[in-house]
Structure 1
Amino acid sequence: MTGEPPVTTPKAAYPPGDLAIWFFIFAELTAFFALFVSYAVSYRGHYDLFATMQQTLDPEWGAVNTVLLLVGSWAVARGVVAAESLPQQKAARPVGAWLLVATLCGVGFLVSKGMEYAAKYRAGIDLDTNLFYTFYYSLTAFHAMHVLLGVVILTIVTAKAARGAYHMGATVGIETAASYWHMVDLVWLILFPLLYLIRLPA
């Protein structure tokens, strides 16, 4: 025995990031849950309309958006791992690069969603077409607003990462951004099949 105290590794903060973001995430998930329930109730009340209109959506658009958000979440997670494992002098480039990939995925999602909306408008389909499309535009636009906010947040943390702000022992900011982005991803993973793929029971 050397008499030296054992080396301990500090436990990671849980939940990750700023606690305030988790109150915000909980509030937003509650709002989305209420909208999902309202959609499901309306679907059952107008089954023929919703089942028919659902078939007019193009799942390929939804699949592209899903891939973009999943890749973005993966990139954010890699950025967090890089920040947690690298000292300040080595963290700026890899952390910034991963966050830039995630930011571009978010921008790609918004562009893709805008193109999908444009195609619907050219076909004469808008918010007032029928109840199904009222839900479609309301739900997807509400989610797109959260993606836009996520892109703004990721842009800020990417700029900070390039200056070496996130590294071993200094990860709260990037963990906060990652937590929010994963929430945006999670909501879409529910929203995509709910709108595009799943036919609810009558």
Structure 2
Amino acid sequence: MAFAALLTGFVIASWFQPEAFAAGKARLHHDIAIANTVILLASGWFAALAPRSASVGRQRLALLAAAAGGILFVAVKLYEYRAEGASLLAEDVFSQPYVLITGFHLAHVLFGALVLALMARFPSPENIHLMTTLWHVIDIVWLVMFPVIYLL
């Protein structure tokens, strides 16, 4: 619900300030965002393997691979922020919601990756199913965010 509200606000603000949003989107590095989308989808694929794995060793490996994908996503996103000059204190109408929305997602990815790594150490079928489902929700949020922020 929080992401839906944030993205709705982003779209509405873009209707009222089309020039500012066009200028803000022009500063974005679409190639980095596409790479991050591929990273997150690959991570989701590994997360999908974890509950289906026959052995605990394979579950652990899949969870660690999913967690590594999440950490890589975080690193690439931080690089993207630096490349774009994005700042939480930016004063333009585009940068503030952009950093708020993507940063909120980034926090979810980081937390999820840490939980996946922790679960690799202490796996249980119920927790693996719950966390990998949550991981897919985080993926879906990005798949909605990506076109709204980068393409529209």
TM class, shorter-chain normalised?
over 0.9
What is the rounded CA distance, in whole Å, between the counterparts of 2:49 and 2:36 in structure 1?
A: 20
Secondary structure of the corresponding residue to residue 126 of structure 1: coil
Task: Determine if the alignment matches structure 1 residue 178 to structure 2 residue 132.
Answer: yes
SS state of the match for residue 145, structure 2? helix
- 1:23 equivalent in structure 2: none
2:141 to 187, 195, 198: 187
Match in the other structure for 2:36: 65
How large is the Cα RMSD of the aligned pairs? 1.2
- Structure 2, unaligned runs of 5 or more: none
Give the structure 1 partner of residue 87 of structure 2: 126
1:113 pairs with 2:77: yes
The reply to whether residue 44 of structure 1 matches residue 44 of structure 2 is no
Q: Which structure would you say has the larger Rg?
A: 1
Report % sequence identity: 30
| Aligned structure 1 segments of 4 or more residues deviating by more than 4 angstroms | none
CA positional deviation for 1:120: 2.5
Q: Distance in 1 between matches of 2:128 and 2:93?
A: 40
Residue 69 of structure 1: how far off its partner (Å)? 0.8
Structure 1: tracts of 5 or more residues without a match:
1-29
- Residue 70 of structure 1 aligns with an amino acid whose one-letter code is L
What is the alpha-carbon distance in structure 2 between the residues aligned to residue 119 and residue 100 of structure 1? Answer: 28
> Secondary structure of 1:131's match?
coil
- Structure 2 distance, partners of 1:129, 1:67, is 31
Residue of structure 2 in register with 1:78 after alignment: 49
**TM-score computed with the length of structure 2 as normaliser:** 0.94
Structure 1 match to 2:110:
148
Structure (1/2) with the larger helix percentage: 2
The structure with higher relative contact order (CA 8 Å, sep 6+) is: 1
Contact 2:28 2:84 in 1 (8 A): no
Deviation at 1:132, TM superposition (A): 0.4
**What is the CA distance between 1:141 and its match in structure 2?**
0.4
- TM-score (norm. length: structure 1): 0.72
